[in-house]
Structure 1
Amino acid sequence: MNTTARIAPIGCDGLPLCGEPARRARLRASGQLNGIDYVEVGDDGVTLCVHLFGDIPAGIGVANVRVSGGRRITGLRVVEVEIEHEPEMHDDACLRVVLDREGDHTPYCLCLVDAASGTDPAAWTPYPGFDPRYACAELRFRLDCARGQDCKEETACVEAPSPLPEINYLAKDYASFRQLFLDRLAQTMPDWRERHVPDLGIALVEVLAYTADYLSYYQDAVATEAYLGTARRRISVRRHARLVDYRLHEGCNARALVTLASDTDLSLDLGNLLLLVPPPGEADAKPGVIDAARLDAARAQGALVFEPMPLDGATTLDVVAAHSAIRLHTWGDELCCLPRGSTRATLVDAPPAGTSAAVPGVASVGAGDTAAASPPRALKLAAGDLLIFEEVRGPRTGNPADADPAHRHAVRLTTVEVSIDPLDGTPLLEVAWDACDALPFDLCLSVRTPAPDCAWLHDVSLARGNVLLVDHGEHVRLACDCGAICEPAGGDGAYPGLAAALAALPDACRRCRDLTEDCWMVPGAVEYDCCRCEGAVQDVTRPPADTGHALPLGPLTFAEPLPSHAPVCRLLSRDPRAALPQLAVHGGPLAAVLVDGAPDARWRWEPRYDLLASGPDDRHFVVEVDDDGIAHLRFGDGTLGRQPQAGDFFRAAPRIGNGPAGNVGRDSIVWLALKSGALSGATIAPRNPLAAGGGTAPESVAEAKLYAPGAFRARPLRAIVADDYAMFAARAPELQGAACALQWTGSWYEAHVVADPLGREVLDPALAARIAADLERYRRIVHDVAVTGACYVPLLIELRVCVLPDFLAAHVEAELRDRFRAGLRRDGTPGFFHPDRLKLGAPLYASALIAEAQAVPGVAHVELITLTRMEGGRSGDVPADGVLEIGAQEIARVDGDPDYPDHGSIAFAMGGGR
């Protein structure tokens, strides 16, 4: 991590959205730093009047004024800069800036920078003596709002929409369907509380439950008769399903993120840590460290055990006391929040206890000199560390009990840089994370309590460091069955070669009793081939009698390997079909495997999903779980996988803990224990701010019977017709749909694949090339493949809206434009013309437009005036059947952007209202 302090980056992006600009008043009062107060745009569109907090520097010139931003009109250049003491646009003195041309409707950013900053906006530094927060100001050359609307933007921190009601899709009988309907009615009709049998509502619920029960029974009966009806045992169903390329999964364990709050700095060995959920009898357990005796008692009482997962090969965790609670910097402003979608934040790098956070002399130096000071630092964050943002107080009351537990989010840092606040010398840490971990909600930082207190409330949300990724399961201690080794039955008996092996290893019994793993020997017999010739050497073989083995404990843990250098979104995403059994198996000659410590790596056997791709010398095995949850180890037969030899000694160290049992709620993992040794001189309080997730139950036999017969149809291996190419292309996670047409080129057919990218309208050329490469293995020999983006059809839409008398027409129009926008609405939901809601070949219905507009409060009546393609259409054209057909390789487009009128437009003719 770079420890050299630097000035905070400048710009108009990446700042918290605050409703109370308190820093502006502080800058005016202090008189230490200058800054931009506001910018006025002249009538000619190219003249700007820049007003400052203080006096205008005399040496400022064209090289010190930069303008960035814009979408259609970019690269604005400053051609003239001079000081005007009596400007026409305002009475105060201002810096007159003349641009080479006028900008578009999008916001631009004007910055006063050091002339040596370069051309990259990311490397701009503020003009000497200017505050980095106000070295830049946003300006607009044109306004998007209509004359009858208020152009003031609403404050962010929008409350998230209410979640959709939970539906139990596992309801399969009359009682569960009846409860499902009653639960749904309790949410949609909370005032209806009648539960008497004669009630009409109850009667309707019971009729629907009876019908659903009958349909469910009919569906189960058909499935039972049609798919693998004779198989009943789980292992048999697993093998039948594998024959048709279907993999029955055994579930996977849960993962969680645990923070360690400590009062001192220390380093912990990850391999020696255990995190526990207290047993059911200790609901009021306090977070902390437990000793070995309490650990054994907790295990016996049913405590859930989690183990750390090393990230990118890490073996230790450096716990820093200052990481227990980290404040977020608001630059002295009030009513702030970290907006949804943020991928960076500024943390307050609080100094150690007993030191001052202020930098001596910062009040008397310019902004360019503050970097020379070295404020004391407490945070030791680095790229790759995990961080959890958490709302710790209720935004309305300030009470910690009112904090929203849903406002907790974990990120993995990608960059960490040191900086300071030049206004008060606060040491800061600039952190950023992957866009995949973008903040999914508005995180409040500071609020004001309601009247009569009206008090400013800070540190509403904090960041937590010292974060561990843990997963459910524990490597348990087992007792080895040493009967065959400690009490041999004379000669080789059932284990060929055992007598010779014991003679070469005199302390074999002692070593076997010291093992804390499960162990077994492969039984076999000595077979003698018949003598065909007198005096010939007799042929002796020792085939194994049984190479399988059943583990004594369960459930065996199944987990996927961690991706390297991955963000949190990928670390917590789970695929139970990619999970492998978690156990270390070593097997081979007795002298090589029965050793103190871990055997040599060449005697290790690796788990696999199956042995179909294993060679005769590959030490692979498969774990099959039966109906009682017992894990059976199956080895190869010498052709598909190596076959264990009779008399080989095996040892296995399994990990126990799997399935949804590990999906514990937040703040449930509160105990920490060491496998060996003890902690002294430190107080550690573990907790999981976020609920554990990903724990999945093993796939049931019924599900396998239902899905296995159609598995080969769900994963075809060749593309024959056009729909096959579209299906294979649509598998890419970056797409939301695809279409294809076979076009004759004069010599052969070309599969022309049209891709609809997810969340955007332009197909990335690199993505198109990758999809084309992926289609090569499915391509028919006589076909060529070409991948292009969809053809977007701009539409012309006009609606006549009648507004109720009690509503303002301007407000209703603003709500209509918000509903029909092509991006996200103010509440964060996709607009009606969002790219993810418009599919390939999907027609546009007039009824859908009218229904969407009619749903806006204050709308009395809606009439569709125009619905047509922009090319060749005219105002007043509406399809006779109310359906505007779109081609199979086309997507409707209505951006409503004044900078791009050729991308589709929607207009509202407002009437009525007030």
Structure 2
Amino acid sequence: MTAAAASPGAGARMPVCDSERRRAAVHEQGLAGLESVTVGADRRTLTVAYFGTLPSGLDRHSFRVEGGRRVTGIEVTDVVPHGEAEEEDEEEAHCLRLTLDRCGDASVYRLVALVRGFDSRYAAKEFTFHSAPDGLDCAPAADACPPRPSGPEPTIDYLAKDYASFRRLLLDRFSLTMPEWTERHVPDLAVTLVELLAYVGDRLSYQQDAVASEAYLDTARLRTSVRRHARLVDYPMHDGCAARAFVCLETEQETVTLPGADLAFTVLPPGRRPRPAGPVVAAGELRSGGRPVFQPVGDEEIVLRRAHNRISLWTWGDGACCLPSGATTATLRDAGPDEAGPDQEEPRRVLRLSPGDVVVFEEVLGAGTGSPADADPTHRQAVRLTEVTPGFDALSRIPVLDIAWAADDALTFPFCVSTVGPDGADREVGVVRGNTVLVEHGLLNTWADGDPEELTPSAGRLALTLRGLPVSRSAPCPRPADIATAQARALARLPETVRDRLLQLRGSDTTLEEADRAFLHTLFGPRVLARVRLDDHPKYALTTLLTRFDELLEGKIRRIEALARQARSGYVLHRADIGWELDQTWGADVWPLLAPGNRALHGPACDALRPDPREALPAVRVWATAPDESSGPEAQHSRPARRETESWTPRRDLLSSGPRDRHLVGESDDDGVLTLRFGSGGAGAEPPPGRTLLAEYRTGNGRAGNVGREAICLVSSGSAELSAVTRVSNPLPATGGTDPEPVADVRIAAPREAFRRLRRAVTAEDYAALAGLRPGVQRAAATLRWTGSWYEADIALDALGSADVPRPLLEEVRQELHRFRHIGHDVVTGPAVHVPLDVALDVTVEPGHIAGHVRRDVRRELRPGRLPDGRLGFFDPDTLTFGTPVRVSRLVAAVAGLPGVRHVEVTRLGRLHAAVETTEPVPASGLLRLRPLEIARLDDDPARPENGRLTLNLRGGR
């Protein structure tokens, strides 16, 4: 309601009422009342709203304006009813327009009706000539009648927060309100009600405290809350990772094929001796034991060959051979142990190794004693083959196999191949083992005819309790980024590979086969082949095709470069994307080399044993089922058949999931219970209502799977026959098993890593830091150069293991930095600036040492390369980097420590091609300084003297 104004003669305030029944009475009696007063824009016109029936004969003497502080005595000069106004408005149907002689001040005025016909209660109305400064309604707020006090408020103890204090508080209150009730025994109904209320209060109090505690990272106690707080600053809290190992199998049969998904490996129980009956155990024994269980990574079939049980290294008839540290190539004997001798026919090949296979180098005898007990267990290493080339030893008439592996898998120790025993016979010290399988800690709940677990949806969340066993967390193997990088490199090498094949065809003495002609037809087309007359003059045609190779295949090469850039950005190419295109443009032999399933693209073997726990996801698959309508009426009395309709795969989050993506997120709480969270609101698809959900998962995680070498020795299968397997072992210990990240560590690391992670390159140091993260780059340096229109980031790279930077690596780094570059910056990558050195040493040799041997040792110590003991040479590219100065003291110390060196002195140390000749052959400070983008180089290669020169002057010795 609107507050009533005081009557003309009244000075006291009118009562405030909730209802205005008097307004209806005014209408019935034919009287009028003032509703409101509005001041016009000119501040001299008042629009007076009224209700009821106006009396007749209103003029300027019928109203009076009272009040005012500075401006008083305002008079009404004219009164115009609504019907007489020049401009009529429907909203002014019950309004009067009053004209004043002057405007008033900011104080409160009151308009009073002086004639009969106005109700005394509504005959006056207050107004002001200025609008309210706070924008509120001009009508005063109605003050409701204050409530009557109901008595003194009870005294409440606000410190009561738990069950005991709430119970005591309630009993004390009842003692005041119901003094006649004195029962305090537990069976009493009133005491039971008090305890129930205390329990509810305790739960509510805990919930209030928990909400306040879990709202901040520093005080959160639940693992789920801490994980989500860390996710806000892009810190991936991990829940551990499953361990991995390479297991070598042996068989007595020529070839055995086993289903990979059906195998499981385990260790011996504590205190149990090896089984004399063999390594195969029953599935029930494996499931019931509390031992760590491993299963192969992937579901592909495993092919075992007897020839791969133990492969001998071929030494070309020499004895006491050794593969040096850092070796990436070796030669294997590709014949049976009994198939040898120059008088026999050429033996058949027995090895079936291919690029992508993993083999293990293992020392089986002591290098010094030849005893198996003295074999060094640390001299074992797994490598993934990148090249397999058949060969033949014409002298011994033995087929051999040349193998090579990546530089990342280079041997980290000198591997002894053979030694000469006391009887003068050669003894095989080191062997190579095939039939290698990558296994991971964890056992499927559906293994050996196990049933998947049935889940019940509950408000879009599924709680999966695993009876105290943790769900396995598995990192992707191989990583999609590694596959994409390998595909990019293979695409970049494709034109050269095709060119080499043309060279082989031109150099072959045999005629072109049908497959070769089909390859040329696909590559160049029939019109080009007809123009070069391939059928009439094959040699001439192939020469012409090689000469005009880049011209004829210009469009195809550009397409290959575009695909390589796409793969280099991290996108994995699949058959559906480019398979058909490559088959039609480069031949059907190209796509198998680029397929993601090609193990040659899976990266080095060392990466498989180093899973990143922050990339690990729960090994869970959930699918929905529906009744199979095609089962027929005969299945009514049996277990109803069901079919899979859709499945969900785990992701780290659902931020990039669309409404049609079947993704889920698995979160483990403090008790190890896994909660599966599905998408909603467009981020991922929810489970369909009314469908049965089944879950398949692996159990086994953390450091419990990090078993030692030779620990995995038992194998089992749910359905396959394993009698052909004679031996199971893991030459290398299982590694990578990681326990869940502690909450206390996350509280410390999340805020720190959130601001230390580089996400955008702005300065030159940012470009160098981001380029140095790329695999294959030892270190990078960068400068920002103004080109006249924009800035250019010039990045110099120092490759790992080589003084020369491969061109593909330069392109990969440039493409990688394109995502982080500052807008307006161009990125240019190039090799580092190498500074060839001119070094001269005077060396005094001990009298009892041969000077030639000392010269050899000094050159070996200073030249690039790996020394026999595994160390790198003084001027190796991996020991020197940008701006590293060359110190005379370190150079003298490196040479003086060699056997046979009595004294050494540096007589010349400087740049080989110095722009300014210096009078000092050796810097007086003993330090040859280099610029930030320069790297010292001294190859001491007579074939390339421009890469550094080393001069040795030896005295003494013999």
User: Could you state the TM-score of these two structures normalised by the residue count of structure 2?
Assistant: 0.58
Match of 1:899 in 2: 943
In the alignment, is residue 250 of structure 1 matched against residue 239 of structure 2? yes
SS of equivalent residue, structure 1 residue 447: strand
Superposed CA offset, 1:540-597 (max 9, x none): xxxx3755544444221111233342343443342222222111112477889x9989
Q: Does 1:775 align with 2:817?
A: yes
What whole-Å deviation, never above 9, does each CA across 1:136-185 have from its counterpart, x for those lacking one?
xxxxxxxxxxxxxxxxxxxxxxxxxxxxxxxxxxxxxxxxxxxxxxxxxx
Structure 2 vs 1, CA of residues 879 and 374 (structure 1 numbering), >3 Å: closer, same or farther?
A: closer
Q: State the 1:391 CA deviation.
A: 2.2
Cα distance in 2 for partners of 1:861, 1:588 equals: 83
- The answer to whether 1:605 aligns with 2:648 is yes
Q: Secondary structure at the match of 2:649?
A: strand
Unaligned runs of at least 5 residues, structure 1: 1-226, 364-369, 480-513, 524-543
- Once the 2 structures are TM-superposed, how far is the Cα of residue 472 of structure 1 from its aligned partner? 1.3
Residue 412 (structure 2) pairs with residue 443 (structure 1): no
Q: Deviations over 1:821-844 (max 9, x none)?
A: 222234331111111111112223
Partner of 2:425: 456
1:620 to 658, 663, 668: 663
Q: Distance in 2 between matches of 1:379 and 1:834?
A: 37
Shift of 1:609: 0.6
Q: Does 1:577 align with 2:614?
A: yes
Counterpart in 1 of 2:716? 673
Alpha-carbon separation, structure 2, partners of 1:861 and 1:423: 48
Q: Alpha carbons of 1:726 and 1:808: their partners in 2 closer, same or farther (altered >3 Å)?
A: same
Secondary structure at the counterpart of residue 704 of structure 1: helix
Would the aligned equivalents of 2:848 and 2:957 in 1 still touch at CA under 8 Å? Answer: yes
Q: Secondary structure at the match of 2:813?
A: helix
- Contact 1:308/1:468 (CA < 8 Å) preserved in 2? yes
Which of 855, 875, 885 is the equivalent residue of 1:843? 885
Relative distance call for 1:631 and 1:842 in structure 2 (3 A) is: same
Question: Paired residue for 1:794?
Answer: 836
* CA–CA separation in structure 2 for the residues paired with 1:883 and 1:853: 17
Determine the structure 2 residue equivalent to 1:496: none
Contact kept in structure 1, 2:666 and 2:674, CA below 8 Å: yes
Secondary structure at 1:786 match in 2: strand
1:316-340 CA-partner distances (Å, limit 9, x unpaired): x333333323333334333334455
How far residue 474 of structure 1 moved from its aligned partner, in angstroms, is 0.5
Q: Secondary structure at the match of 2:930?
A: coil
Is the partner of 2:797 in helix, strand or coil? strand
The separation in 1 between residues aligned to 2:262 and 2:447, in whole angstroms, is 18
Question: Identity over the aligned pairs, expressed in percent?
Answer: 42
2:293 equivalent to 1:305: yes
Q: Is the 8 A contact 2:461 2:675 kept in 1?
A: no
DSSP 3-state at the match of 1:288: coil
1:288 to 268, 275, 278: 278
Distance 1:287 1:641, change over 3 A: farther
Asked if the contact 2:624–2:644 (Cα under 8 Å) also holds between the matched residues in 1, the reply is no
1:400 paired residue among 352, 364, 372:
372
Relative to 1, partners in 2 of residues 1:717 and 1:443: Cα closer, same or farther, differing over 3 Å? Answer: closer
8 A contact 2:845–2:957 mirrored in 1: yes
Q: Report the AA paired with residue 440 of structure 2.
A: D
The yes-or-no answer on 1:231 pairing with 2:220 is yes
Question: Cα–Cα, structure 1 residues 864 and 426, in superposed 2: closer, same or farther, change >3 Å?
Answer: closer
Structure 1 residues 760 and 247: CA distance shift in structure 2, 3 A: same
Q: C-alpha distance in 1, partners of 2:711/2:450? A: 33
The structure 2 residue matched to 1:887, chosen from 909, 931, 937, is 931
Change (3 A) 1:321 1:797: closer
C-alpha offsets along residues 432-474 of structure 1, whole Å, 9 cap, x if unaligned? 555544444443333212xxx4331333333323222221110
Indicate the SS of the match to 2:246.
strand
CA RMSD, aligned part only? 3.5
What amino acid maps onto 2:780 in structure 1?
Answer: A
Give 1:624 shift.
1.4
Pair 745,678 (structure 1): closer, same or farther in 2 beyond 3 Å: closer
Deviation at 1:245, TM superposition (A): 1.0
Change (3 A) 1:635 1:703: same
One of 624, 644, 649 as aligned partner of 2:692: 649
3-state DSSP of counterpart to 1:723: helix
Aligned equivalents of 1:431, 1:913: Cα separation in 2: 43
Q: Which moved more, 1:729-738 or 1:263-272?
A: 263-272
C-alpha spacing 1:663/1:874, structure 2 compared with 1 (3 Å): same
Deviation of residue 859 (structure 1)? Answer: 4.6
Contact kept? 1:549, 1:634, Cα under 8 Å: no
Q: Distance in 2 between matches of 1:676 and 1:467?
A: 21
Q: Aligned pair in 2 of structure 1 residues 740, 841: CA closer, same or farther (>3 Å)?
A: same
Could you say if the C-alpha distance between residues 865 and 573 of structure 1 is closer, same or farther in structure 2, counting changes exceeding 3 Å? same
Q: Which residue of 2 aligns with 1:121?
A: none
Closer, same or farther: CA 750–348 of 1 in aligned 2, 3 Å = closer
Q: Distance in 1 between matches of 2:368 and 2:818?
A: 58
| Structure 1 residue 815 corresponds to structure 2 residue 857 | yes
Q: Distance in 2 between matches of 1:796 and 1:770?
A: 34
Equivalent positions of 1:511-526 (< 5 A) are 516-523=451-458
SS, match of residue 253 in structure 1: coil
Q: Is this contact kept in 2: 1:548–1:635, CA < 8 A?
A: no
Is the deviation greater in 903-912 or in 741-750?
Answer: 903-912
Matches within 5 A, 1:450-599: 453-476=422-445, 516-523=451-458, 544=459, 547-563=462-478, 564=597, 565=599, 566=602, 567-587=604-624
**2:783 and 2:351 mapped to 1: Cα distance?**
58
Q: Cα deviation per residue 1:702-738 (whole Å; 9 max; x = unaligned)?
A: 3322322133433333222221121222221121111
Q: Deviations over 1:371-393 (max 9, x none)?
A: xx564555454554433332222
**Equivalent residue for 1:261?**
250
8 Å CA contact 1:421–1:427 kept in 2: the answer is yes
Question: Which of 1 and 2 has greater Rg?
Answer: 2
CA apart distance, 1:807:
5.4
Q: Displacement, 1:875?
A: 6.5
1:507 aligns to what? Answer: none
User: Given that residues 278 and 304 in structure 1 are in contact (C-alpha distance below 8 angstroms), is that contact kept between their aligned partners in structure 2?
Assistant: no
Q: Provide the residue aligned with 2:359 in structure 1.
A: 387
Once residues 411 and 848 of structure 1 are traced to their aligned partners in structure 2, the CA distance between those partners, rounded to angstroms, is 35
1:394 Cα deviation from its structure 2 partner: 1.9
Picking from 286, 293, 318, the partner of 2:303 is 318
Aligned length: 611
Shift in Å, 1:604: 0.7
Tell me what 1:330 maps to.
315
In the TM superposition, what are the counterparts of 1:752-763 in structure 2 within 5 Å?
Answer: 752-763=794-805
- Shift in CA distance, 635/516, structure 1 to aligned 2, threshold 3 Å: same
SS in 2 for 1:686: strand
Match of 1:837, SS state, is: coil
* Range with bigger deviation, 904-913 or 440-449: 904-913
Change (3 A) 1:879 1:231: farther
Q: Check the 8 A contact 2:624/2:645 in 1, yes or no.
A: no
Q: Which residue does 1:731 correspond to in 2?
A: 773
The one of 312, 336, 343 equivalent to 1:350 is: 336
Counterpart amino acid of residue 323 in structure 1: H
**In 2 relative to 1, CA 461–727 (structure 1 residues): closer, same or farther, beyond 3 Å?**
closer
Alignment match, 1:70: none
Q: CA deviation at 1:782?
A: 2.5
